Homo-oligomer: A and B are copies of this chain.
Amino acid sequence: MTAAEGTRTMDTTRQLARHVLAAWLDDVPDDVRHEARRALVNFVGCALGGSTHSAMDIAIRALGPYTGLPTAIAIGRAERYDPLFASLLNGISSHVHDYDDTTPANYIHPTSPVASALFAYASVTPVRGDDFLNAFILGFDVVSRIGNATYPAHYDAGWHSTGSVGVFGAAVAVGRLLGLTEEQMVWAIGLAATQAAGIREMFGSMAKSFHPGRSAQSGYMAALLAREGFTSGVHGLEGPRGFAAVLSARYDLSKVTDGLGTDYELRVNTYKPFPCGIVTHPTIDACIQLRAEHAIDAADVDAVRLRVAPLVKDLCDKKHISRGLEGKFSAYHAAAIGLGRGRAGLAEFSDEAVNDPLLRGLRERVESIGDPAVSEDGVVVEVTLKDGRTLTKVLEASIGNLKRPLTDAQLETKFRDQATVLPADRVDALIARCWTIDGLDDVGPLLALAVPAA
């Protein structure tokens, strides 16, 4: 709170509100627009993939009785809900497999909270595709910028920024589509700030996926309240008791506003090849490569030593696990599936896989060491075989990393792998509309394609 106070100005919130209301898609460079479409293709695929997860069934059983008029679409579900509840459900489904996008500079999954709210809104209100893409780009940018301004102190303290920061993106994106005035947008940001929540203690449980869902819903609600005149403090971000001061020991709010409309956070977004915590990706990638290069059989592995960044060690130090969701943040499980199965799809993070005796046995043989010399993008894996040989793989960047991004075709493949709730022709049409979303007269028909038969 002290070190960075010099970079606080008393109008960050208002500057941001003004920008969000003034920015227009025509001024967004083509590469950013394309990256936005890629993010949406990835998002819709992930939401379809997560739509049948038990966390969704449970949330619907628990809260469905309280939903309002069944007007809105929750991606991948046949039943309709009110749009606030649909926002929550989109957030859970799109994040529950930990397969959604990531801005590696701040470890946020920015698309989930923003697009979850926007698609729910667009399922009940006609929205032109260019308006939609514009609002999405703004919401994404706001999330990642506030993330940058408070990283690493905010994340290190134990906040799950996808929730605690994501809420701002949903608020401004929906607020933009609602046509808020400047004052109302300031209130929407304030009402988002005062709903910011989500802690990392929930990692490994369903509550992690609840975070972007609740952010989407809370941000949407903030915009609705602001439109009707529900007042908030006007310095929600920068005030002495505002978001940054209260939720982050250090921050630099110039990162929220500097380069608005010129620098776009979508340019530093990444898409996951594996449905788990991004910090485990280098380990998985290296182990898959080692297995392929040396034709390793799991039975021949004597010991595995991982050298990872200290943050990665901290985040992924669960060895004794029994649930699929726990496997998504276990460096031990990451090594075990890479070496034992040579792949890391949704099946490798099921409860069954986590309890597979072969994988459990491998996990027991893995040691994880935090090493400041290893970057968060990399890993050093040493496998000692029972015949005495030691195999080493030094990886600087895993597939999916900014330096090795998934191609458009790979994103489509990932989409198809997850879209099993829809017939194949529907999948083709849905992917095509996502790639051309900014040309649509209305986003509604796109969403109708994402609804399976009842």
A interface with B by C-beta (< 8 Å): 54-55, 58-59, 61-63, 65-69, 82-85, 157-160, 163, 187, 190-191, 193-207, 210-211, 214, 221, 224-225, 227-233, 235-236, 239-243, 245-247, 323, 325
Is B194 a contact partner of A55 (Cβ separation < 8 A)? no
Is A230 a contact partner of B246 (Cβ separation < 8 A)? no
Known: A66-B83, A190-B207. A214 touches B233 (CB 8 A): no
Is B233 a contact partner of A204 (Cβ separation < 8 A)? yes
Known: A214-B195, A225-B62, A246-B159. A201 touches B207 (CB 8 A): no
Q: A351 → chain B, closest Cβ, in Å?
A: 12
Is B225 a contact partner of A205 (Cβ separation < 8 A)? no
- State the oligomeric state as a number of copies: 2
Contacts of A202 in B (CB 8 A): 190, 194, 232-233, 236
Contacts of A231 in B (CB 8 A): 205-207, 323, 325
20 further A-B pairs in the complex, CB-CB below 8 A; given A62-B221, A194-B199:
A58-B225, A58-B228, A63-B225, A65-B69, A66-B68, A66-B82, A66-B84, A187-B205, A190-B201, A190-B207, A193-B201, A194-B207, A194-B211, A199-B243, A201-B235, A201-B243, A201-B246, A202-B233, A204-B233, A206-B232
Contacts of A158 in B (CB 8 A): 240-242, 245-246
Contacts of A204 in B (CB 8 A): 233
Contacts of A246 in B (CB 8 A): 157-159, 199-201
Is A228 a contact partner of B62 (Cβ separation < 8 A)? yes
Contacts of A69 in B (CB 8 A): 65-66
Contacts of A85 in B (CB 8 A): 66
* Complex Cα spacing A210 to B84, Å: 17
